[in-house]
Amino acid sequence: MEENQLNSPERVVVIGGSAGSLEVILQLLPQLQDISSIAIVLIVHRRNTDDNVLEELLRMKSGLRVIEIEDKTAIQSGRVYVAPADYHLLFETNLTFSLDVSEKVHYSRPSIDVGFESAADVFRNKLIAILLSGANNDGTDGLLAVKDSEGVVIVQSPETAEVPFMPEYALKHLTPDYVLSPNEMVAFILSLVS
Of the residues 108, 118, 138, 141, only one is catalytic, namely: 138
Active site (annotated) includes residue 18:
yes
Q: Which of 18, 21, 77, 133 is catalytic?
A: 18
Alpha-helical regions (H) of 35-162 = 53-62, 112-123, 140-148
Cα(16)–Cα(89) distance, integer angstroms: 11
Q: How far apart are CA 6 and CA 180, in angstroms?
A: 32
- Choose the catalytic residue: 45, 113, 118, 141: 45
Chain-centroid distance of CA 74 in Å reads 16
| End-to-end Cα distance, the chain | 27
Q: For CA atoms 46, 102, 16, 131, give the dihedral sign.
A: positive
* Active site residues per annotation: 18, 45, 138
